[in-house]
Amino acid sequence: MCLAIPGKVIDLFEQRGLQMAKVQFGGIVREACLEYVPDTQIGNYVLVHVGFAISKVDEEEAARTYKLLEEMDQLTELSAPSVEEKPARKVG
């Protein structure tokens, strides 16, 4: 469970003062906290572990790693249920 999953940042927003992003993993989009990789931009690829971006990676690395995790059946954390709250405020 220490493996981080690479995804593409498709939107940035702020939630209760935290920098957040919508990150696309294959066909799934989930939220991730960007506080630990604060210079992330839309279009960047990030490694996400339990809802937190921990490092940026390039697109090739992201694609390769994602495929391996899929084969190793290590993507189950992405299917954990979402907890919805009031809509977040969009930045910019």
Partner 1 sequence: MKYLDEYRNGELARKVVGEIRRIQTRPWVIMEVCGGQTHSIVKHGLDYLLPESIELVHGPGCPVCVTPLEMIDKAHAIARRPEVIFCSFGDMLRVPGSEGDLLMLKSQGSDVRIVYSPLDCLKIARANPEKKIVFFAIGFETTAPANAMLVWRAREEGVKNVSILVSHVLVPPAIAAILQSPQNRVQGFLGPGHVCAIMGYSEYEPISARYKVPIAITGFEPLDLLEGTLMTVRQLEAGRAEVENQYARVLTRDGNRPAQKLVNSVFEVCDRKWRGIGSIPKSGYKLRYEFRDHDAERLFEVQEIDTKEPAICISGQILKGIKKPHDCPAFGTQCTPQRPLGATMVSAEGACAAYYAYGRHLKKEPMPAASGTAARSAV
Q: Where does this chain bind partner 1 (CB under 8 A)?
A: 1-4, 16, 18, 30-33, 35-38, 47, 49-52, 54-55, 57-58, 60-61, 63-65, 67-68, 71-74, 76-78, 80-85
Q: Cβ of residue 42: shortest distance to partner 1, in angstroms?
A: 20
Q: Is 54 exposed, middle or buried (0-12, 13-18, 19+ CB in 10 A)?
A: middle
36 is written with which tokens? 């630990």
To partner 1, the closest distance from the beta carbon of 85 in angstroms equals: 5
Answer whether 47's CB lies under 8 Å from 61's CB.
Answer: no
Nearer to partner 1, 43 or 81 (CB): 81
For residues 28 and 91, which CB has a smaller minimum distance to partner 1 in the complex? 28
The stretches of the chain forming alpha helices (DSSP H) are 59-71
